[in-house]
Structure 1
Amino acid sequence: MKRVLIISPYFPPANTADMQRIRMSLPYFEKFGWEAEVITVDERYYDVVEDKLLLNSVPPSIKIHKIKALPKEWTSKLGLGSLALRSLWHFRKKGAHLLKQQKFDLIYFSTTEFPICILGAYWKKKFGIPYVIDMQDPWHTDYYQNKPKAERPKKYWFSYRLHKFLEPKAMKKADGLISVSATYIKTLHERYPILKTKPFKVITFGAFDIDFKIAKANSAQLPIAYALRKKINLVYIGRGGHDMKQAVHTLFSAFKEGLVSQPALFSSIHLHFIGTSYAPKSKGIPTISPIAAELGIAEQVTEYTDRIGFYESIKNLQHADGLIIIGSNQAAYTASKLYPYILAKKPLLAIVHPESSVLRIISDCNAGFLIPINQAATIAEQTLTGYLAAVTQHTPSATDWSKFEVYTASSMTKKQVALFNSVIE
């Protein structure tokens, strides 16, 4: 049995997108010939929404090593909040201890706390163990360079320069890449030609039906986050942000057209956007409802900026009449939430970049209705009307589950392991 040491700063009970790949893979690694151990930060040092039920999905046989981090209440006074930077020294110490005491064939970084990945080169030099980096987002990116200051992330000046400095230190020595997007790999190949000689694979997140069993078993304790209306309730759960503006504008413009052409149908609809901000509770700044107000459909739209628990999200999806996914204006964007939306078996509408993997996956499996961002409102309205017909008529999901099988967590884990084997061979 080969052995992999997984580095994931966030881990259950943290409800973050970047730990989902690992959480959903852990039940299957052994099936494909790999034994996994995880180093993560103790939840006492998290600053994100937690969901204790996530622990129910982690196999009890997996060894989880929890480390300390500098408390954010201290480091924030210096303007430093990143979990990666707060825990870097502790990861270095714990990782060196395990690698010295035990035999591991591979180190696997799966996180968007990217500064942690520089430890791969250090451990490789010290212990001779190869490492793989999982690119779930871009690390160093010029995306915000030409954006107005108001649209840039907080502390952008510092983070841009830090990532530009650290990324090459990790990437030039990496032995393999996994990414949710071919675009991310293409960019890294252009920056670091040496990576073209290393194994790489595009692997999206997997569908994990175990989560629906956990949500069902605990349904009584899971609240509904949105105010039920005596209307048809359409629900989106996930982040907002400036890169979602085009998708939101496309949706709302089509909706506005529908209110004019089919007022009886469209006035019976209410759209709920939940968990749109990463800010602390009650501190989020709306990014969806202002667009609705601008287009004159504010009465049909409610935005709830506060994040909610993972299994609470599943219950909210199942409770809705229909589901909506909005995507980024970046073609490389892959919505990690896509599979729970499909598994909820509700009528689904996605407004995404025409080159996004979300569009391809939904199309392959016949899992829902699709509107490319920036599609003309009159054309988008036709698709929206067809979707609303499915919602109002309670049309069963038409998903082709045989084709969906390739997107399950087990299938995605098998692909990860194939790359692991290529690296160590």
Structure 2
Amino acid sequence: MDSSRKILIVTYYWPPSGGVGVQRWMNFAIQLKKRGWDPWVLTPENPQFEIKDEKLLERVKDIPVIKLPIWEPFNLFHALTGNKDRKNVQQGLVLEKSDRSLKDNLMIWIRGNLLIPDPRVFWVRPAARRAIDLINKEGFSTIITTGPPHSMHLIGKRVKKKTGIKWITDFRDPWSKWDVLEKLKTSSLALSIHKKLESSVLDLVDYGVTVSERLAESLGGMEVIHNGITTHNQSTSAPNSSHFTIGYFGLLNELRNPRQLWHLLDQMCRENQVFANKLRILIGGIVSESIKAEINELNELKSKVEFLGYLPHESIQDEYRKCDVLLLLLNKSSNSGWILPVKFFEYLAAERMILGLGERKSDLGDLMNAKDVGEILAYSEIDSIRGFLEDVFENERRPNAEDRASLLKRFSHETLVDKLEKLIMK
């Protein structure tokens, strides 16, 4: 194939990695391949993630993947502690523990102050060397780095300096303004290093891309290519009429815990026996043990909640369609307004009402307020949340078919890749 059509994508998340992080560039790579481009992927050989979805490998079997070993410092920590709390560390749940040990606090401090920008920083040099070799041998025209982890952008910076290749960065989340840095006890010195590294990337890159308008503005102005959805021929059957099912799918930690909603639902069950008889709550994904304990203390609600654990991407679509309301939880943080999550688009494709909890004045709020596919409300707006749920329960609100169809077309990966393709060809 013509080397001008070759693209090297550097990403930490690639199948069989599961979860949200893999979806964006897996789907963009697939669409680019369909359009006659030749995307290759450089990714770690032994990445540290627990969530795997082997079925995704079939979707990317025609995309060349170069794997390079990575050393991650927390692997040593896990080995020394017998892998205790391994999953909690990887999902960030150790940050929430009220009884953190000295080891927990030390690990958090190290993560926030010594491993900058993230624990994958030790992969930067070897990955950059490998990328440079590949560019010299294969003649790639463009390198794309996607973060987090933002160490991927430091790889791109080294490659750009050495080869002069066209470089596109993709910010799926903030860097120096990431809301978790405070929880990591990041010092002012460490934060200044984050900002310096971030600026060095933004100063050198040819084109910067991110997922929402507000995040683009916070990064000094970038091209916006939203997250999106690849739609398939899906059943649009109605949910089981014998139940009223609320579903949440994703990481559920204290940053997203809808505490007021749990208590509201418990109260609604006490007040309305018909509602109580029908209510069912499905929660799929990694859930903080403290949240499980909190729900278990609510006498009416606890028997109605089913924790499904992690679900492969293929089967999660079926779970969406079992629901009457799909719950979308944004982080309770100052920058939640910048995030337009992948989950919104997946929910949209399921043809169910969406209840978003978070910042009304946000990219998600702007989108949902303009279309009748659900509502975004503040976590504390109990009366409005109750009114929304009662309307859906009484079948007085359903997604507007035209609004839903227009959003799915606008945010399909097939449409979104148009803008990406134009950047690559500049």
Q: TM-score by structure 1 length?
A: 0.77
Shift of 1:6: 0.8
> Which residues in structure 2 correspond to 1:114-153 (within 5 Å)?
114-141=150-177, 143-144=179-180, 152-153=183-184
Equivalent pair of 1:36/1:62 in contact (CA under 8 Å): yes
Unpaired segments of 5 or more residues in structure 2? 81-106
Residue 7 (structure 1) aligns with: 10
Residue 94 (structure 2) aligns with: none
> Which residues in structure 2 correspond to 1:110-189 (within 5 Å)?
110-141=146-177, 143-144=179-180, 152-153=183-184, 163-189=194-220
Match of 2:249 among 201, 215, 237: 237
Equivalent pair of 2:12/2:149 in contact (CA under 8 Å): yes
Shift of 1:136: 0.9
Residue 265 (structure 1) aligns with: 275
Residues 337-388 of structure 1, C-alpha deviation per residue, up to 9 Å, x if partnerless?
Answer: 1222122223433333212333344454533x21411453223211111122
Cα 1:113–1:268, aligned 2, differ >3 Å: closer, same or farther?
same
Shift of 1:168: 2.8
Cα 1:264–1:16, aligned 2, differ >3 Å: closer, same or farther?
closer
Residue 416 (structure 2) aligns with: 412
Give the letter for the 2:137 counterpart.
Answer: Q
Equivalent pair of 1:108/1:132 in contact (CA under 8 Å): yes
CA distance in 1 between counterparts of 2:344 and 2:415 reads: 16
Cα 1:362–1:300, aligned 2, differ >3 Å: closer, same or farther?
farther
Match of 1:206 among 211, 228, 233: 228
CA distance in 2 between counterparts of 1:288 and 1:202 reads: 37
Equivalent pair of 2:8/2:144 in contact (CA under 8 Å): yes
Cα 1:17–1:144, aligned 2, differ >3 Å: closer, same or farther?
closer
Give the paired residue count.
Answer: 378
Residue 129 (structure 2) aligns with: 93
Residues 228-266 of structure 1, C-alpha deviation per residue, up to 9 Å, x if partnerless?
Answer: 9x8533211111233324xx1453454356346544224
What CA RMSD, in Å, does the superposition of the two structures yield over aligned residues? 3.4
Q: TM-score by structure 2 length?
A: 0.76
Residue 384 (structure 1) aligns with: 389
Residues 37-74 of structure 1, C-alpha deviation per residue, up to 9 Å, x if partnerless?
Answer: 111112x433221011111222x432221111126533
Shift of 1:104: 2.2
Equivalent pair of 2:7/2:144 in contact (CA under 8 Å): yes
Shift of 1:288: 6.4
CA distance in 1 between counterparts of 2:20 and 2:307 reads: 19
Give the letter for the 1:314 counterpart.
Answer: Q
CA distance in 1 between counterparts of 2:303 and 2:360 reads: 26
Shift of 1:140: 1.4
Equivalent pair of 2:377/2:384 in contact (CA under 8 Å): no
Shift of 1:118: 1.1
Residue 328 (structure 2) aligns with: 325
CA distance in 2 between counterparts of 1:18 and 1:373 reads: 26
CA distance in 2 between counterparts of 1:15 and 1:405 reads: 25
Shift of 1:144: 5.0
Cα 1:350–1:289, aligned 2, differ >3 Å: closer, same or farther?
farther
Shift of 1:18: 2.3
Equivalent pair of 2:391/2:397 in contact (CA under 8 Å): no
